[in-house]
Copies of this chain bind each other. A is one copy, B any other.
Amino acid sequence: MKLAVSGGMVGDYEELLRPALRMPWCIRFCPDRAALLAELGDADAVVTMSWAAGMPPAPHLRLLQLPGAGLDAVDLAAVPPTATVCNVYEHEIGIGEYVLATMLEKEIGLARLQAEIRADDWRSSLFCGGTPHGELFGKTLGIVGYGRIGRETAKRAKAFGLKVVAATRSPEKRDEQVDEIVGMAQLPQVLARADYLLIACPLSAETRGLIDRAAFAAMRRSAVLINVARGPVVDEDALYEACRDRLIAGAVIDVWYNYPKGGARIEPPSKHPLKHLDNVLMTPHVSGVSGGLLRRRWSLIANNLNRLAAGQPLLNVVRAPLSAP
């Protein structure tokens, strides 16, 4: 059986994949899109994050395995009807850690403290009349979209003595880690109460631009927005204005509006100069990208390939096949 693996975001993780396969697979690691498209004609399985109308026929395809969670780059109507579409998660642990890391950095400011004491300067110490840093204890974390990421973050946040309130499409799925959970219609209540507002919902027609000017206006001026979902859930213009004009205290942005294309390494992540604002903590879409993530994901992908070869049910199915191969 033949597997084609898209490069780029997926990477060339042969050393994680091959030892876990129980059957011999012919594996093509494709460094670019053209190479992937050239392999579709006889591929039984493809690992890629994107599928669009107009791609070459893939008549034997039985598994389109996404190496990530998000379906936003997949046109399901264009996927061959013989194929099952599966995704993987496993990023919720790394993202939960990242979210707490950024909240703690906002409270404590390790970067600044370290720069000072490396210059033998104790100005921030109480010995020298410095101002105390902040604390998470007792604050409120609002979460928009209470799925895997929301739950892993809430679990950690509760251990810090944070109150957790969430707005979600499925408020009946409450658990012990959330203090209050409401439907999306009650989002304004969450916006008004959050000291930290975590965006952790999928990008969809309903959520595109969900955090707009009105949402920022509803937030506390002391609040910090954290986006680890997809950039466009937060309106790009409204985000810049809210941070620039201090309508909120600041933002943590890991997901963006522009991404590098065609092998480039340099690309402004937004059309606005967020990078010139000192109240924005920026990272290049890495929140969930930990070594542990890749080990867990490729283990699950290998498991699915083994199941496909053995005729067993697949894991993490997001679309069943529409017709037999």
Contacts and interface: CB of A to CB of B under 8 A. Distances in A.
Considering residues A105, A135, A137, A289, which has the most beta carbons from chain B within 10 angstroms of its beta carbon? A135
Kindly report how many copies of this chain are found in the complex they form together: 2
B284 A117 contact: yes
B294 A120 contact: no
A136 B293 CA distance: 12
A97 B135 contact: yes
A282 B125 CA distance: 13
Interface in A124-176: 124-130, 132-138, 155-156, 158-161
Contacts of A137: 93-94, 97, 292
B122 A260 contact: yes
A268 B97 contact: no
Contacts of A1: none
A267 B96 CA distance: 38
A124 B8 contact: no
Interface string A229-266: 00000000000000000000000000000011000011
Contacts of A134: 290-291
A101 B119 CA distance: 22
Nearest to A265: B128
B156 A286 contact: no
A275 to B, nearest CB: 4
Bin chain A's interface residue count: 35 or more
Given A97-B107, A135-B93, A114 B156 contact: no
A217 interface: no
A286 B124 contact: yes
A288 to B, nearest CB: 9
B285 A132 contact: no
Contacts of A9: 126-127
A127 B283 contact: no
B290 A132 contact: yes
A325 interface: no
Q: Which 3 pairs, one residue from A and one from B, show the smallest C-beta to C-beta distance?
A: A159-B159, A101-B104, A135-B290
16 contacts: A9-B126, A93-B137, A97-B108, A97-B136, A101-B105, A101-B107, A114-B283, A121-B266, A122-B260, A122-B285, A125-B286, A126-B289, A130-B284, A133-B290, A135-B291, A138-B292
Given A118-B282, A121-B266, 8 more contacts: A101-B101, A101-B108, A105-B110, A113-B284, A117-B275, A122-B284, A125-B284, A134-B290
